[in-house]
Amino acid sequence: MYYSIHFFLLILLLLITRFFYIHLFSNGRRHVKLPPGPKGWPVIGALHLLGDKPNQSLAAIAKKYGPLMHLRLGTIDMVVASNPAMARTFLKTLDGDFLDRPYTTAARITYDAHDMVFGEYGPKWKLMRKLTSLHILGAKALEHGATVRQEEVGVLVRAIRDAATVNVPEILSCTLANIISRLVFSWRMIQAGDEGPASRFKDLVNEAVALSSQFNIGDFIPSIAWMNPQGVEGEMKKTHRKFDQMMDEMIQLHVNAAGDREGKPDFLDILMADGGDSGYPSPLSSNNIKGLLLDLFIAGTDTSSSTIEWALAELMSDPALLGRAREELDRVIGPDRRLCESDLANLPYLRAICKEVFRKHPATPLIPRVAAKDCHVDGYDIPRGTRR
Ligand code: HEM
């Protein structure tokens, strides 16, 4: 009896809080027509609905609320687009209104948001994005990097062929880190069995990925972030310091080897030359440069290696899938040569497998952007500050 009265009081308290929350705190929003979505609870909002596979939970919730829905996660508004047309609206039509990212604890690792992934939209961010697109990620840059990728895949294939046992995540991380480091520093960072600074760097990237993927309640209820309730912030600062020290060592080595690159500047040379003739007013600070390099290593290694691992796992667990993929490769490539990137156009089944792996096993946690101004989509209001 004693227990049930307390239980009843607790429910009553929650209902009263919910009433005040909806009717008082949403006052400023009385005339705002938000997209449909689950109502959620006071303080935590719909956080409890995300579960440990947010992509799957959100897809299930979208079945009820439609392709554009609104969720309150903690005290943060978020909209979710879940069909191609709606995704196009946000990623193309409204892209210019969603350029900033929310400031989250993970930004502590990447130079307190002086990098490109978490950095604030402005001249420095535009310069970092322009240079990265021009030299690393844009279509022309990808064409230029094809030889490096092809050579590193060659090293990978030989290493797998010659090994008695293969540590798949380890060997994939090495390949990806080496592809990026050749473009950035003009050297291969990680050699087989390497115990030097390069292998410490790889461990650090793994540490940074693990920390930044952790759920941190302060990112959803910013008013309690200062309490650092899960103690993640200290860990992130520690990782940041280790990374910074290593980055300084790498940059010093790069400066010392400047003579080897005479007339052949790599990405770090270009960044250090302040963007050259880009015409942008703000030269990059050393924190911008180190943050951007960290972005490339974090965003470029773990994402690709975990996606490839998942693809291998899916193929191994489904003999029919593996058989069809093999049949396509035998028919299009044959036994006498290695697959190259230009073959992809003729391998629709392999491409479909990749797309399905991207869909089923997204490599990145939710890394949203924020609306810089009020927007309107399909008759609904998306207030400024909403994440998407
Ligand atoms: C399976 C592989 C990959 C996946 C699934 C992936 C996924 C993503 C996603 C979802 C974003 C956020 C996009 C946005 O908010 O607009 C992103 C951003 C980014 N990715 Fe990747 N990525 C992959 C590989 C790479 C590689 C190989 C690199 C670099 C070498 C890279 C560098 C970046 C950078 C620098 C950003 C930030 C861009 C910005 O904020 O403007 N990613 N990636």
The preferred substitution site among 303, 304, 355, 359 for testing ligand 1, maximizing ligand atoms within 8 Å of CB, is 303
Residue pointed to by tokens 């667990």: 317
**pLDDT score, position 21:** 57
Whether 279 has a pLDDT exceeding 60, the answer reads no
Whose CA is closest to atom 30 on ligand 1?
Answer: 300
User: In angstroms, rounded to a whole number, what is the distance separating the alpha carbons of residues 258 and 182?
Assistant: 14
**pLDDT score, position 19:** 55
Tens digits of residue pLDDT in 170-198: 889 889 999 999 999 999 988 766 655 55
Q: How far is the CA of 295 from the centre of ligand 1 (A)?
A: 9
Whose CA is closest to atom 20 on ligand 1?
Answer: 299
Instruction: Please list every protein residue whose CB sits less than 6 Å from any atom of ligand 1.
Output: 116-117, 129, 132, 136, 180, 295-296, 299-300, 303-304, 307, 363-364, 367, 369
Whether 75 has a pLDDT exceeding 60, the answer reads yes
Q: How far is the CA of 300 from the centre of ligand 1 (A)?
A: 7
The preferred substitution site among 175, 364, 387 for testing ligand 1, maximizing ligand atoms within 8 Å of CB, is 364
Tens digits of residue pLDDT in 201-216: 778 888 888 888 888 8
Average pLDDT along the chain? 88
Q: How far is the CA of 69 from the centre of ligand 1 (A)?
A: 24
**pLDDT score, position 17:** 63
Atom of ligand 1 at shortest range from CA of 362:
5
Encode 40-57: b = buried (16+ Cβ within 10 Å), e = exposed: bbbbbbbbebbeeebbee
Residue of 45, 103, 51, 52 lying closest to 74 (CA atoms): 45
**pLDDT score, position 170:** 84
Q: How far is the CA of 364 from the centre of ligand 1 (A)?
A: 8
Fold classification of 111-318 is Cytochrome p450 (1.10.630)
Inter-helix orientation angle 197-213/232-256, to 10°: 150
Q: Where in the chain is the domain with CATH 1.10.630.10?
A: 111-318
**pLDDT score, position 376:** 95
**pLDDT score, position 225:** 87
Whether 27 has a pLDDT exceeding 50, the answer reads no
On whether the CB atoms of residues 211 and 302 are closer than 8 A, the answer is: no
Whether 41 has a pLDDT exceeding 50, the answer reads yes
Share of the chain above pLDDT 70, in %: 87
